[in-house]
Amino acid sequence: MTAGGRTRTVVGGVLRPRAGSAPTDGRPAPSAAGPVRGALRRILPQAVPFLARRRPALLRLGGWSLLETAQTFLGGYAVAAALDRGFLTGRPGVGLVWLAVAAAAVVAGGTATNRVFHHLADLVEPLRDGLVRKVVTSALSAAVAGRERHAGHAAVSRLTHQTEAARDGFAGLVMVTRSFVFTAAGVVVGLAALAPALLLIVLPPLAAGLVLFAAALRPMATRQRDFLRTDEELAARLGADVAGLRDIVACGAEARTSDAAGELIDAQTRAARALARWAAVRTLALGLAGQAPVVLLLAAAPWLLDGGVTAGELLGALTYLTQALLPALNTLMTGLGAAGTRLLVILDRLAGNGGPSAAGPATARGSCSATGSATRSRTGSATDSCTSPATASCTGSATASATASSAGAAPCTAKDSEAAGACPDRPRADPRPRPQGAFTAARRPSQPSTPPTESGEAAPSLELRSLSFAYGPGAMPVVDGLDLSVRPGEHMAVVGPSGIGKSTLFALIAGLLVPARGELLIGGRPVHRPDGDPYAVRRALIPQEAYVFGGTLRDNLLYMCPDGAPAAAVESAVRAVGLDRVAHALGGLDARIDPAALSQGERQLVALARVYLAPARLVLLDEATCHLDPAAEARAERAFADRPGTLLVIAHRLSSARRADRVLVLDGVAATAGRHEELLERSETYRDLVGHWRPGAG
């Protein structure tokens, strides 16, 4: 198959580019040899105005840093003077005074460093805020324009990791560069003041080490860039694999998907090792620039002493090297080699010059290929058991949540709904056409759906027209092209193997999930509209785990009746569903109840009575009687069947299917509707389910 003019290979439902092909986002692959070539040239035009606008902050930093230069100068010069003018001449008092001067310089330098940190935020925080704005703006623009469908994972990496790394790297770069420049200035001035001959020993290896370090910066930045790129590719791959996990399992592509992810993990490991090798070159440069001058100074000590350099001056020079220059070099090379190159790469990428923003390699968003086994798919792919929250919708009924769901909300668990009272928003299903050959959990019924009624007749209570839905972008559809018409007042049971999509279908009807394609009509009117769902009160869903809140029993029953209900109607509902004994045991309708003290079956009875009282004319029972005994279940279902409106039941027992006017069978290949006796003849799946049910109660 082709996409964007480039050839891809479908492997187990996972789209992967052929070896040697360009990245799938349509841009050329970044070169490994020179990805940072010109990066500094691209960044400087933006960096110079940024720094120019913050000139006062730079001046304050420079002013306080001059005190550190004075501290460095006095640190070595005072030691030399203490020896030559004090201790070695028999005047310890003079020596102590010079040491006191050095100590005072340390205190002054500490104060200066504290003030430097105080003003550092004036440079660092504006950079971070600007980068965050740029990342968010770029990601939103790409999403709206549809240019980079898979760039979200890379944007997450940039927003949560790379912008923070840029802030930390910039702060570290400012500190180490400032420290080295002003420390080196103090050392050079100090050595020149002590004995100019000392500069002949110190400056050559220092310059050689700095040159080696500078030469290693470009390849080090290249390796840093490779590491960041592989990190983004791995994040994109793993995120896409999770999104297409159902397809991967259905197609049996676990091994291939694991291998593909493993290749990216190996690539990231290789990039990290290459970066570590160049870090070793940085260590060599540090040894040449910082340690070699100390060794050379000690080796040249006899020659220096013969040339007139005093012992104090020699010790002062060693103090400069070991206590000032070497630590400054260490921090400079560590900071500039790691934070500096990383900062350059990150800024270049965030500025839009970094090549692909997301991993170009394959994603697991492709649909399952036609070669996938139907048997495996029925049992392992197009299931709603992997998304069990759909079976535990908010408040024990879909009525309170359907309006929100039509705007894109998804079901939440009963536990979550008790805590929050609302379902969290989740993305809509992917509206893209499904690739041909994808296996579906529920195709069009083999029995033609009920046609629209003639003028003057009541419209179908519920009508589904080519309804399709999949969990997550790229996942295999759970419901695909389903057509169904339910007459007003009809009692329909829905049956099928566990996890086949029954609860998902009910969540779609209730409005807790938004279909990817197709129409859902209640009373002949479409439900999912841009201005919301005005038909939410016409339907109610009771999940398996019923919702009961602390308060009186009457409050629980009137929860879905905002205008209240007559006492006679409440008592009638209690008797109809079989809640009367429970109400009497609790102390009446006005007794306060503790949800934790009620059994699962008692909570289901409360939810049943609540919906019985509600104005909803389409009731969905998602195994809402599974905790009741067969007699209590039959009583509740008969009550809803006799109640005005339409009833859909996910059958928990064979008796529920027998009581229904029609039965809808979902088997993962087709959806078949008919009466109990007809389905025994026409549907092998239904016969198997009936055979499974017979030994049990029902």
CATH code of residue 44: 1.20.1560.10
Shared-domain flag, residues 271 and 415: no
| pLDDT for residue 89 | 86
Structure tokens given for 440: 């579906």
Shared-domain flag, residues 244 and 347: yes
Shared-domain flag, residues 93 and 170: yes
Shared-domain flag, residues 328 and 469: no
Mean pLDDT of 195-212: 90
Taking each helix axis as running N to C, give the angle between helix 55-84 and helix 311-319, from 0 to 180 degrees, rounded to the nearest 10.
Answer: 150
Domain assignment of residue 137, yes or no: yes
Could you report the per-residue pLDDT of 21-76, keeping only the tens digit for each?
A: 333 333 333 443 344 445 666 776 777 778 778 788 888 888 888 888 888 888 88
Shared-domain flag, residues 164 and 203: yes
Q: How far apart are CA 229 and CA 75, in angstroms?
A: 45
Does 607 score more than 90 pLDDT?
A: yes
Q: How far apart are CA 636 and CA 653, in angstroms?
A: 14
- For residue 420, the tally of other CB atoms under 10 A from its CB is 11
| pLDDT for residue 112 | 79
What residue numbers bound the domain in which 616 lies? Answer: 380-693
Domain assignment of residue 612, yes or no: yes
Cβ-based neighbours of 273, under 8 Å, separated by 6 or more? none
Q: How far apart are CA 195 and CA 314, in angstroms?
A: 9
Mean pLDDT of 594-607: 92
Domain assignment of residue 10, yes or no: no
Structure tokens given for 432: 């893209």
Report the number of distinct structural domains present in the chain. Answer: 2
Shared-domain flag, residues 282 and 385: no
Domain assignment of residue 640, yes or no: yes
| pLDDT for residue 437 | 30
Domain assignment of residue 168, yes or no: yes
| pLDDT for residue 341 | 63
Q: How far apart are CA 193 and CA 191, in angstroms?
A: 5
Could you report the per-residue pLDDT of 424-456, keeping only the tens digit for each?
A: 333 333 333 333 333 333 333 443 333 444 445
Shared-domain flag, residues 346 and 440: no
Q: How far apart are CA 365 and CA 582, in angstroms?
A: 50
Q: Of residues 82 and 355, which shows the higher confidence score?
A: 82
Structure tokens given for 402: 């359907």
Burial of 422 (0-12, 13-18, 19+ CB in 10 A): middle
User: By the 8 A CB rule, do 139 and 126 touch?
Assistant: no
Sign of CA dihedral 672, 678, 684, 687: positive
User: By the 8 A CB rule, do 371 and 253 touch?
Assistant: no
The average confidence (pLDDT) of the chain is 74
| pLDDT for residue 599 | 92
Shared-domain flag, residues 337 and 475: no
| pLDDT for residue 528 | 65
Taking each helix axis as running N to C, give the angle between helix 92-145 and helix 163-194, from 0 to 180 degrees, rounded to the nearest 10.
Answer: 150
User: By the 8 A CB rule, do 71 and 109 touch?
Assistant: yes
Range from 4-18, 191-205, 632-646 carrying the lowest mean pLDDT: 4-18
Q: Of residues 30 and 119, which shows the higher confidence score?
A: 119
Q: What is the CATH number of the domain that holds 557?
A: 3.40.50.300
Could you report the per-residue pLDDT of 205-232, keeping only the tens digit for each?
A: 988 988 988 888 778 878 877 887 888 8
Task: Supply the Cα-derived Rg of the chain in whole angstroms.
Answer: 37
Could you report the per-residue pLDDT of 120-179, keeping only the tens digit for each?
A: 878 878 887 878 888 888 778 777 765 554 455 666 767 767 777 777 878 878 888 888
Could you report the per-residue pLDDT of 539-558, keeping only the tens digit for each?
A: 899 988 888 988 899 999 99
| pLDDT for residue 692 | 58
CA atoms within 13 A on the CB side of 479: 30
3-state class (DSSP) for residue 621: strand
Q: Which residues of 217-243 are buried (b: 16+ CB within 10 A; e: fewer)?
A: bbbbbbbbbbbbbbbbbbbbbbbbbeb
Last residue of a domain, one of 353, 369, 395: 353
Q: CA torsion, points 398, 402, 405, 410, in degrees to nearest 10? A: 0
Mean pLDDT of 613-638: 90
Cβ-based neighbours of 20, under 8 Å, separated by 6 or more? none
Structure tokens given for 175: 């500190």
Shared-domain flag, residues 302 and 406: no
User: By the 8 A CB rule, do 240 and 474 touch?
Assistant: yes
Does 697 score more than 60 pLDDT?
A: no
Last residue of a domain, one of 337, 353, 369: 353
Domain assignment of residue 323, yes or no: yes
Distances (CA, A) of 698 to 46, 479, 603, 638, 651: 76, 29, 22, 15, 11
3-state class (DSSP) for residue 558: coil
Structure tokens given for 29: 């692959």
| pLDDT for residue 590 | 92
Query: In the chain, what is the greatest distance between 2 CA atoms, to the nearest angstrom?
Result: 122
Domain assignment of residue 19, yes or no: no
| pLDDT for residue 536 | 54
3-state class (DSSP) for residue 532: strand
Structure tokens given for 172: 């570290």
Q: How far apart are CA 508 and CA 402, in angstroms?
A: 10
Domain assignment of residue 309, yes or no: yes
Shared-domain flag, residues 485 and 345: no
| pLDDT for residue 362 | 33
Shared-domain flag, residues 432 and 328: no
| Distance linking the first and last C-alpha atoms of the chain | 51
What are phi and psi for residue 485, nearest 5 degrees? -130, 130
| pLDDT for residue 326 | 85
Could you report the per-residue pLDDT of 637-681, keeping only the tens digit for each?
A: 999 999 999 999 998 788 888 899 999 998 877 888 999 888 888
| pLDDT for residue 654 | 80
Structure tokens given for 4: 């964007």
Could you report the per-residue pLDDT of 454-479, keeping only the tens digit for each?
A: 445 678 889 999 898 888 777 788 88
Q: How far apart are CA 14 and CA 248, in angstroms?
A: 7
424, amino acid identity = P
Range from 258-272, 282-296, 410-424, 648-662 carrying the lowest mean pLDDT: 410-424
Could you tell me what percent of the chain has a pLDDT over 70?
73
What pTM, to 2 d.p., does this model score? Answer: 0.40
Where helices occur in 411-461 by DSSP H, the ranges are 414-420
Range from 171-180, 337-346, 571-580 carrying the lowest mean pLDDT: 337-346
Residue 430: which H helix or E strand, with range?
none
Q: How far apart are CA 580 and CA 608, in angstroms?
A: 12
Q: How far apart are CA 615 and CA 26, in angstroms?
A: 54
30, amino acid identity = P
Q: Which residues of 308-346 are buried (b: 16+ CB within 10 A; e: fewer)?
A: ebbebbbbbbbbbbbebbbebbbbbbbbbbbbbbbbbbb
Does 421 score more than 50 pLDDT?
A: no
Shared-domain flag, residues 676 and 564: yes
Could you report the per-residue pLDDT of 284-331, keeping only the tens digit for each?
A: 888 888 889 999 999 998 998 888 889 999 999 999 898 888 888 888
